[in-house]
Structure 1
């Protein structure tokens, strides 16, 4: 399976999916990370939603059903788009559109029957049936979005303040001071820009 680098910095599965577009949405630096169904499987494997065996099995199945796999990829992108719109709206104090919520509810209706009570590391917990269908990843992502929308953590959802980034995250800092998706990238870039601006103003005096 081809490797592609993904970052998981958001604190929620649904937001990690939303963050599979790099840069700022609709801008020239926008980057698509899910270019194929195999990319989606690799994301699910790295996220821990699929085991190596499960991802390999689904990849093999996708080669025999390429049309269906491509349809799942497009459905995933539609779900991703709605997730971004919903939580970007919440982050800016707005109400999300009914059409975006409809996409989440549609995937919940389609996939929640795959939930199971399973044995986990600390006892019985909610889990999912063996992911044997090409769209098996969609239900856990939709459930993650539903859980976040209905949780107290919703008020902590933020969008990166960098003008060149649209990533979402749950701010888990004590004083709710997190501004950037990643301090090592957007945070340092912002600091460098402010430093250069101060230098320019100093030189102009």
Structure 2
């Protein structure tokens, strides 16, 4: 089930991962219903290519592992954003399972890049690149610019990479317009003021 907010650009893969539970028609929709949903998300996020899968490419329980990691990351992001102590143990199990090798590769323009290749024999190992990205975000992210949408009831997060750093909504055309319309409806209108 697709949501109009499913394509929201959080400007960070970890925050995009958090944004896989979305409001849709007044209900919460979890975009990770099946293992294949997680694999498709990893592909869209550009993380699937970092993982060398076992031969059958099937990882039972991947959706369950992804949902658990997502909720742990949500807690960590909220802790970090609130300047609370960060419970690093929430991320440790996935980080400990990760196994990778560095490779030097040449891109299509002839530029050299150092690339991590993760070996995945289990569902947890498939999520290792995301866990590393989360650890980097928690350690080095600018949490003054990591925000939750200001729209009432919207759970989505984003990294404000705008020039002015004044972004307030996950998506201007959805939440931003909704908030502006609500403010407009509560404001006294000029014609009402002239009648008084």
What is the aligned residue count?
186
Alignment of 1:2-151 (within 5 A): 6-7=6-7, 9-23=9-23, 29-50=27-48, 61-62=57-58, 69-70=60-61, 72-91=62-81, 93-98=82-87, 101-111=88-98, 113-119=99-105, 121=107, 122-129=111-118, 133-151=122-140
Higher helix share: 1
In structure 2, the CA distance between the partners of 1:107 and 1:199, relative to structure 1 (3 Å rule), is same
Shift of the 35–143 alpha-carbon distance from structure 1 to 2, 3 Å rule, reads same
Deviation at 1:88, TM superposition (A): 2.5
Q: 5+ unaligned residues in a row in structure 1: which ranges?
A: 63-67
Determine the C-alpha separation between the residues in 1 that align with 2:11 and 2:106.
20
Structure 2 residue 153 is the aligned partner of structure 1 residue 164: yes
CA distance in 1, matches of 2:79, 2:177: 26
How big is the shift at 1:120? 5.1
TM-score (norm 2): 0.79
2: CA distance, partners of 1:88 / 1:30: 19
Give distance in 2, aligned partners of 1:180 and 1:157. 12
TM-score of the superposed pair, with normalisation by structure 1: 0.76
The structure with the largest strand share of the pair is 2
Kindly indicate whether the alpha-carbon contact (under 8 Å) linking 2:80 and 2:86 is maintained by their aligned counterparts in 1: no
